[in-house]
Amino acid sequence: MREMIKAKAIELLENGTVNRVLGWKAGEFFYDLTPGIFTSREEIEETFEYSVFSAANLSKYLIAESRKEGKIAVFLKPCDSYSFQQLLKEHRIWRDRVYVVGIACDGMCSMDVIRDKGITGVTAVEEDGENLKLTTLYGDKTIAKADALLERCVHCKSRKVVVFDEMIGENGEEIPDSHRFDMVEKLEAMTPEERFAFWRGELSRCIRCNACRNVCPACSCEKCVFDNDKSGIAQKAAASDFEENNFHIIRAFHVASRCTDCGECSRVCPQNIPLHLLNRKFIRDINELYGEYQAGSDMDTKPPLMNFTTDDCEPSVVYERGGKV
Amino acid sequence: MKKVFAADIYKVFAKVSQKSKLYIPADDGVSQARFLPYMEGMTLTEKLNTGRSAKDLFFPQVENLLKFKVSGKQIEIVDQRDEVESFVIFGVRACDCRSFDILDNVFLYDEPADTFYKTRRANGLVITLACNAPEETCFCTAFGIDPADPAGDITAWKMADAFYFRGNTDKGNALLAELELVEADEEAAHQQQEAIRAIAEKLPFGKLDLTGFDKEHLMEKFKDPRWAELSESCLGCGTCTFVCPTCQCYDIREFNNGKEIQRFRCWDSCMYSDFTMMAHGTNRPTQKERFRQRFMHKLVYYPSNYGGVYGCVGCGRCLQKCPVHTNIVKVAKTLGGENK
Amino acid sequence: MQRIGVFVCWCGSNIAATVDVEAVANALAMEPGVVISTNYQYMCSQAGQEMIQNAIREHKLTGIVVCSCSPRMHEATFRKTAQQAGLNPYMVEIANIREQCSWVHKDKLTGTEKAIILGRAAIAKVHLNAPLTAGQSPVTKRALVIGGGIAGIQTALDIADAGFEVDIVEKKPTIGGKMSQIDKTFPTLDCAACILTPKMVDVAQNEKIKIYSYSEVEAVKGFVGNFHVTIRKKARYVDETKCTGCGLCTEKCPQKKVPNEFNLGLDTRRAIYIPFAQAIPKVATIDADYCSMLKSGKCGVCSKVCTAGAIDYKQTDQLIEQEYGAIVVATGFNPISMDKFDEFAYSKSPDVVTSLEYERLMNAAGPTGGTLLRPSDKTHPHTIVFVQCVGSRCDSSEKGKSYCSKICCMYTAKHAMLTREKYPDTEVYVFYIDVRTPGKNFDEFYRRAVEDYDVHYVKGMVGKVTPENGKLKVQASDLLGGRQMHIDADMVVLAAAIEPDKSARPLATMLTASMDTNDFFTEAHPKLRPVESPTAGIFLSGACQGPKDIPETVAQAGAAASKVIGLLAKDNLTCNPCVAKSDEMMCNGCSACEKVCPYGAITYMDKEFRGPNRTTLIRRVASVNPAVCQGCGACTVACPSGAMDLQGFSNSQIMAEVDAICK
Amino acid sequence: MQVNETFTPTIVAFCCNWCSYAGADLSGTNRLNYPANVKIIRIPCSCRLNPMFILRAFQRGADGVILCGCHPGDCHYTTGNYYARRRMTLLFSMLDFLGIEKERTRVEWVSAAEGAKFAATMNEFVDTVTKLGKNKRLEDLRCAK
Amino acid sequence: MMHDPLFPVLGVVTDIRTDTPDVKTFRVVGVDGKKPFIHIPGQCAMLSIPGVGEALFSITSSPTNEDYMEFSIKKCGCVTTWLHAMEPGQQITIRGPYGNGFPVDTDFAGKDLVFVAGGIGLAPLRSVINYVRHYRSRYGSVDIVYGARSKDDLVDYAEIIEEWSKEEGINVHLTIDNPQEGWDGHVGFVPNYVKELGFDTSKTVVMCGPPIMIKFTLAGLLELGFDKTQVYTTFELKMKCALGKCGRCNIGDKYVCKDGPVFRLDQMDQLPDEY
């Protein structure tokens, strides 16, 4: 896969299809890949990397990149392609300046997950079939890839690249029984007091670094309300519990019915807050109340929050369903 | 040198916390350690370091400065500071401990001193803990920090059976004396130190070459074209800043609850697009300039102002936390050493 | 920092009885920015208004807060007051301390406390008010009337009379509408054709009026003063400019078996036809569903007999684009289908007819030449039963309509009377729930039917009609007599409920005009603005707004016309300034706002912006057409960046009110 | 739940200009009582209600927030309340998900003719919120009274 | 409890003068009616209106004025808009003085001085000019070149005409960008005017104005034979603490609030071009 992708990147650059390639750059260790732009064969040969650590969703970079001269090639994993299409739908990316190479994906791993398993000091990683061989300061270790997967990949919703100019690897299918709402349901089954305690515990860790927002392809505002002093709700740091809640509620609401559930927010959170649960709560509610909807899966369907039917349920439905009392 | 058997460490904590507030690094929810006020039943984390740095305890993320009450054209200024109670932090690593020196330069020694910081520093007692198992992201040694022998008022070593303590300052010795611990042989600690240093020797960035990052090369580094490439993936978030033990930029903001106006300061990040935004624009218009500012500050401006001391302690938090894995090591490797 | 004046109204004792106005004024005087705070018995009085105006001048006020009755009552008044004193009218805020305070609460302390808080909220808001200036948009001085019945005709004539151009779009081949099918009109019993056809001729001859017959509205864009309408002129396969209306083709056409819709299918016409003798335009139309030439290419008789050479089998639909300043909807009504009323045997016996069919059977130009004959055997009926409220005032909405169709009582009385007059040997029964005759000379008319013409009015419903041996067995109850009735009738006439024309619903969507659940167009205000749609520039004429008889229709048509004239007489329109506005610097161009805008007021453009380091950036940004936007604010919430805000009800203003209230 | 006898909740009622605000007016015209701690904010349409405003109200000390708009189908702007309905449904569900008492938020459709309904709704809502007690979970301590 | 440097003191705005359509001059004293603190020409102070914000302004009045401080402020942001809308008697908060100020008693002493200002750029120079006027004997000749978009945009016009122009040894050269009715003075941009005037290269130049003016004036001065060590200017960047701690206003390793705002132009060359 890695070789095919690199070869494709070189091919597209050299045959003049594009003048830039957006991919992942090798870091200091095997696991710390950085999104990067490549403009030459040499660069690609030396530093382009694709591995189970190519988790970063590249689609958001295209908002800026597609406005630059010439065409850019981008590699999109299935979940990234949903974000890409949602951005297209919102007129944020100039499609004609992007050449999309879809790549089949079996799930991405996370160093955080590996560290969580007590493996530290990892200086090198090698993919070995279904396993990862780790060289650490404290001796060699092995971990199954499946045990190192990102949460979003454990509950992968789709292996289908929804928009591409060409595919590398075989395109997959949507996975309806991803169990991605299991945790949401578990929370819903709690009492409000328990839920409140759960979220306070999580959100009180927030350091308002904006990583979730800045990485989020749906949070593509020219100027975020939380940065805009005129909005009346601008904040630099959460100065109270309320502000912690407010930021995450409003952010989730702003991306509701636009969030593709790409999981980047939770991946990048330095405080390991399961932010995706908020988005999934909205997705689950939308699916249940207004019919199945997957943001980014097509170009035409109106996002549920910009749509209605005359016989929609009343807000009082929340008293009847929702969490147990 | 004093000694406490591993089984008794919590008795020591209990004793300390009776007199003053004690913070220890403990696991907080999932996969993260954090300095938390010690309460009975709490256990020390097994993790190397806390997710957030120890600077929080001296320079908190949000800090109230003063209040105003406004009526008509009149303003009343209310100083609302409470006396800061004395507190003890246990388990500060060598890198974080060094970060206090770096912050001291700005907040204490540069006149006028910041009284909020000053009060906390005066009331805080730092017990450091040597790093038994440094991680691949650690590079404190690059800044001449010895993870085996951290500074602080008291230095502690953790061994299989016991904790060893050494007082470094009067304040530290006084506390140790109060605790009435058993005298111990220094040899055990020395062995531990050697073991740590052996690992530190193997750290991939332990000998990070920082030549070229100095006042003399200020303009050259500033003008280096490679900043563009280094910064191209930067999201402009504040993760690196907020987990950094030495970042000290802050914003002053106000909150009006309708009755009084609370002026407070909170951390800010030079990575944010509005950091230098004025009514008529910003002098750092793209992420390249903002990214450059952060690393120039750590590696060039700070040493230029403070006798060559770098504004980084090699704790490695930004290496672990950056969403796109761009960090000070990549910058140093690209622009420093033989690449300069 | 605003300089704010606060004016607390006593409203006599209405407010002052439960709110200590003095205390309110004193408390609000302490609020930031308030430079004068006072109270007065009646702020809305001349003296009160002068007091405000003097204060504005004297204290150089930049904003005022009036604590008084509901803004729905006097906001406009005080805005005018402010304007006359040189203050922007949108710098006025009302704190509603009457309807929402003094009238709700009994305890004076409570009322006073609440009034102070409401005043504070208004002050907090006015601090953030900005002077708003209403925008201007030009007016196209031409009106479109959709529907060419009596409503449309009258509206068009009145507008044209004032000197403005009017186009009528009529989907049928001729104008005239329902009235052209009616025989006589109540309560005067004059002949409908005699009063309608001259008006039709007037329309045809009026230079200002253009008729698009056999045409329909295809698309509507734009907004008040500037509508852009696409009209589909359906192919009639006859060149209107050549056809002389001689009618020869309609006699020679070999296809004779086409149901004649003008006579409601009671007789037939040819495939090429002129609906009725006085049709306007008097031009033949080929019915493509029946013409053999169009269907199979065989025939061509009409073309051969037409001396004018007007037949054109190759004609296609034509799309006409036209600009209008105002649109009048006059789409009229239809009797409802009798399908669901099997108990009256409408589908089983041709002798069960609707009132409109009966109208044709009585009409000299009708299928029977004006002689009343039963459709089944063309014999003279001797017993006729009229059933009222068929489908009107129904409980079950599935079957009929909940509303009263309003005209049935009168036309049934008319039918009964005319029948008795022409055929005194006929027994006439009318079954009714109530007889409703409010209207000039209406009750007298009904009484004549009962008293002079011996029409048997029976209060009660007909339960069942059964055709049997050439008779219609009518089973009914007489509620006043308390008995069951069995009548062997020759004919049964059903007063079918009326409903809006089916074309109204899609039209409403095009016009973004609102409708009620019965598909009648909603008026802007049921009492005060009965001929205007809430959508600016859309006016309502005739039965499209609700059931009406002819005089009412004509009256409303005139009213609609005068509203249109009032609009077209202006060169420019002043827009409501409390509309949405997008901040281009923050706009993402994501189209969220556009998706929720009910008026299509938001458009996008790619615009160049200055980027960092002397670069230029092209960004897609939204802009709101202030003439179209009605200020609902749906877009402001859809917009994640907050680029879209509503002037007069901005995010910061509302939050300031929230803060003041919760403080 | 502990009920504090002296507790009077702060209630913010957002009312659309065309129906519910008029309904509230009518309620006054008919001299129908409802508690004074209900304060009405006039907005042009229920669709103008930004979730930000609701959270803001709770931050600043509101104990309950209610939105009143035209009945579905009767919106002055034809579609506004349909959008509001979806937005509020999802927002309320999210607040519930975060453990905020769902009874503190409410939507009622009140027409210009339903003065009685307005008063009844407010009475009932105030009762409900009074029973819940003070809003603790979404309050901002800096705004504490 | 120690007084924190971030804590302001109260001030009262006793007088507000409208200079131009968008510039007003505010007279500030402490609540005790005295001058809040002592400063050097070119230094700044943080003014704030609680609830609105805090911003740094250069002190326009000369330290030789014993009674009050003045600030000439152009309306351009949130705080300034509020200031412009307020009325005399309003309390504000003030802290300072901040920055290095001009070397009036060292480098400037005994020198012939040329002041070059554009628009609101006169504000910090006014302090120096009046200081120099006060200690007239300590300095050589004084030339003032001042330009604005139009006559109406010239700040302190009355003082310039009534006092400065009339004072011996002070040459005032006014210019406006475009011809205007009722203006018989020079028309043209400041940099060109400075070149036209062609000052003696022994003089010391003090500049303040929009960056574009600084840039072209400097080029002109260098052409005339001036050395960068003879030219001083003053800067403005976003500031929060004004104490060199909040990390905002640095240009390279220098903080404008602490090491500036006055820089000699040869010092500027040592700094990255990020202002």
**pLDDT band of B339, cuts 50, 70, 90:** low
Long-range contacts of C595-598 (CB under 8 A, 24+ apart): C595/A302, C595/A303, C595/A306, C595/A307, C595/C638, C596/A306, C596/C634, C596/C635, C596/C638, C596/D47, C596/D79, C596/D83, C597/C629, C597/C634, C597/C635, C598/C512, C598/C630, C598/C632, C598/C634, C598/D77, C598/D78, C598/D79, C598/D80
Does residue C194 contact residue C200 with C-beta atoms inside 8 Å?
no
B74 pLDDT more than 60: yes
pLDDT beyond 50 at D128? yes
Prediction pTM value: 0.84
Size of interface A-C (CB pairs under 8 A): 57
B-chain CB neighbours of A268 within 8 Å are 237, 239, 323
What does the pLDDT look like over C177-205, one tens digit per residue? 999 999 999 999 989 999 999 999 999 99
Q: List pLDDT tens digits, range C536-567.
A: 899 999 999 999 999 999 999 999 999 999 99
For residue C397, the model assigns a pLDDT of 62
Residue C411 CB partners (closer than 8 Å, separation 6+): C186, C355, C359, C495
pLDDT one-digit tens code per residue, B280-315: 788 899 999 999 999 999 999 999 999 999 999 999
Rounded CA-CA distance C626/C486 in Å is 66
Q: Using the beta-carbon criterion (under 8 Å), do C641 and A221 form an inter-chain contact?
A: yes
Angle at E14 between CA E12 and CA E19, to 5 degrees: 120
pLDDT 10s digits, E211-270: 889 999 999 999 999 999 999 999 888 889 999 999 999 999 999 999 989 999 999 888
CA-CA-CA-CA dihedral for C66, C68, C73, C74, to nearest 10: -30
Residue D1 lies in a domain: no
What are phi and psi for residue E229, nearest 5 degrees? -70, -10
Residue D29 sits in which domain range?
Answer: 11-139
Alpha-carbon distance A268 to B321, whole Å? 7
CATH topology of domain E9-98: Elongation Factor Tu (Ef-tu); domain 3 (2.40.30)
Q: In the predicted model, is pLDDT for residue C661 greater than 70?
A: yes
Give tens-digit pLDDT for A135-144. Answer: 999 999 999 9
Q: Which residues pair with E71 in a beta bridge?
A: E26
Of E110, E148, E143, E147, the residue nearest E129 (C-alpha) = E143
Q: What is the pLDDT of residue C384?
A: 96
- For domain E113-234, give the fold: Rossmann fold (3.40.50)
Within a domain: A261: yes
Q: Which of B158, B193, B126 is nearest to B3 (CA)?
A: B158
Q: Is residue D3 part of a domain?
A: no
Distance from CA of E182 to the nearest CA of B (A): 31
Is residue A320 very low, low, confident or very high in pLDDT (cuts 50, 70, 90)? confident
Both structure tokens of C539: 């006016």
**Does pLDDT of C463 surpass 60?**
yes
On whether any CB of chain C is under 8 Å from the CB of B307, the answer is no
Residue D1, pLDDT score? 43
What pLDDT, on a 0 to 100 scale, did the predictor assign at position B149? 94
Contact C352, C472 (CB under 8 A): yes
C528 and chain D: CB distance < 8 Å anywhere? no
- Percent of chain C surpassing pLDDT 90: 86
Q: What is the DSSP letter of E163?
A: I
Domain tally, chain A:
3
**Other beta carbons within 10 Å of A118:** 9
d(CA A126, CA B245): 32
Whole-angstrom distance, CA of residue C281 vs CA of residue C276: 11
Neighbours of B297 (CB within 10 A): 24
Q: Kindly state whether residues A68 and A139 are assigned to the same domain.
A: no
What the block records as the tokens of C599 is 């008026």
Same domain, A187 and A296: yes
In Å, how far from its chain's centre is CA C242? Answer: 36
Within a domain: D145: no
Radius of gyration of chain C (CA): 32
- Signed CA dihedral, C372, C374, C378, C381: sign only: negative
- For residue D52, which residues of chain C lie inside 8 Å, CB to CB? 651, 655
| Cα B294 off chain centre by | 16
Q: Which residues of A touch B325 (CB under 8 A)?
A: 27, 32-34
Q: Which residues of B touch E88 (CB under 8 A)?
A: none
CA torsion angle E269 E271 E274 E275 (round to 10): -70
Confidence of residue C396 (pLDDT cuts 50, 70, 90): low
Domain segments of chain E as ranges? 9-98, 113-234
Instruction: Check residues B157 and E1 and name the one with the higher pLDDT.
Output: B157
Chain D residue with Cα closest to C661: D39
Number of folded domains that form chain D: 1
Domains of chain C: 4-128 (3.40.50), 142-234+317-332+501-568 (3.50.50.60), 248-305 (no CATH), 334-499 (3.50.50.60), 580-647 (3.30.70.3270)
Helical spans, DSSP H, in B54-169: 94-104, 115-123
Q: Given a contact as 3+ CB pairs under 8 Å, which chains touch D?
A: A, B, C
Which domain covers residue A24, as residue numbers? Answer: 1-108+159-179
pLDDT tens per residue, range E79-115: 999 999 888 999 999 998 999 999 999 999 999 999 9
pLDDT in tens, A80-112: 999 999 999 999 999 999 999 999 999 999 999
Q: Where are the beta strands (DSSP E) in B185-225?
A: none
DSSP letter at A149?
B
Give backbone dihedrals phi and psi of B275, rounded to 5 degrees, phi first: -60, -45
Mean pLDDT computed over every residue of chain B: 93
Q: What is the pLDDT of residue C167?
A: 97
- Cβ burial, residue A273 (10 Å; 0-12/13-18/19+): buried
pLDDT bracket for residue C524 (50, 70, 90): confident
The pLDDT confidence band at residue D5, using thresholds 50, 70 and 90, is low
| pLDDT band with cut points at 50, 70 and 90 for residue C522 | confident
Query: Which residues fall within 8 angstroms of residue E257, CB to CB, at 6 or more apart?
Result: E44, E56, E98, E99, E239, E241, E242, E243, E244, E249
Residue from B182, B8, B176 nearest B88 by CA:
B176
Q: How many CB atoms lie within 10 A of CB A17?
A: 13
The full 3-state SS of C574-637, as one line of letters, equals: ECCCCCEEECCCCCCCCCHHHHHCCCCCEEEEEEEEECHHHCEEEEEEEEECCCCCCCCCHHHH
Question: Closest Cα to residue C151, out of C555, C483, C449?
Answer: C555
D-chain residues within 8 Å CB-CB of B262?
A: 142
User: Does residue E132 surpass a pLDDT of 50?
Assistant: yes
Task: Say yes or no: A46 and A175 in one domain.
Answer: yes
DSSP class of residue C521? B
Residues A69 and A47: beta-carbon distance below 8 Å: no
Question: How many residues are listed for chain B in this entry?
Answer: 340
Whether the predicted pLDDT of A323 surpasses 60: no
**Residue A153 is assigned to a structural domain of this protein:** no
pLDDT band at A321 (very low <50, low <70, confident <90, very high): low
What HEC string does A8-49 produce? Answer: HHHHHHHCCCCCEEEEEECCCCCCCCEEEEECCHHHHHHHEC
B149-178 in b/e form (b: 16+ CB < 10 A) is bbbbbbbbbbbeebbbbbbbeebbeebbee
Return all residues near B234 (Cβ < 8 A) that are at least 6 apart.
B271, B287, B290, B291, B324, B326
User: Is A154 within the bounds of a domain?
Assistant: no
For residues A175 and A185, state if they share a domain: no
By the 10 Å C-beta count (0-12 exposed, 13-18 middle, 19+ buried), E182 is classed as exposed
User: A273 and A187, same structural domain?
Assistant: yes
Q: Do chains A and C touch (3 or more CB pairs under 8 A)?
A: yes
Q: Is the pLDDT of residue A322 over 70?
A: no
The per-residue pLDDT for range C426-456, each reduced to its tens digit, is 999 999 999 999 999 999 999 999 999 999 9
Residue B74, min C-alpha distance to chain E (Å) = 6
**CB environment C639-655: b (16+ within 10 A), e (fewer):** bbbbbbbbbbbbbbbbb
Q: What local confidence, expressed as pLDDT, does residue A324 receive?
A: 41
Residues A31 and A174 in one domain: yes
Q: For testing the chain D interface, which of C99, C107, C108, C651 should be mutated: the one with the most D CBs within 10 Å?
A: C99
For chain E, say whether C612 makes contact (Cβ under 8 Å): no
Q: Is D142 on the interface with B (CB under 8 A)?
A: yes
Cβ C123 vs Cβ C8: under 8 Å: no
CB C143 within 8 A of CB C186: no
Rounded to two decimals, the ipTM of the complex is 0.93
Cβ within 8 Å, pair D34-C104: yes
A121 and B CB contact within 8 Å: yes
Neighbours of B83 (CB within 10 A): 8
Structural domain contains residue D2: no
Q: E49: how many CB neighbours lie within 10 A of its CB?
A: 23
Which of A123, A155, A153 minimizes the C-alpha distance to A140? A123
Nearest-angstrom CA–CA distance, C267 and C257: 9
Mean pLDDT of C388-397: 85
Segment A235-251 mean pLDDT = 94
Nearest one of B291, B290, B311, B289 to B300, comparing CA atoms = B311
Nearest CA among C557, C585, C423, C607 for reference residue C153: C557
| Kind and range of the H or E run holding C562 | helix C550-568
What was the pLDDT predicted at D77? 84
- Domain-embedded: residue A237: yes
Neighbors of chain E with 3 or more C-beta pairs under 8 Å: B, C
Q: Which of these ranges, C520-529, C592-601, E51-60, has the smallest mean pLDDT?
A: C520-529
Both tokens of E112, joined, read 């012939």
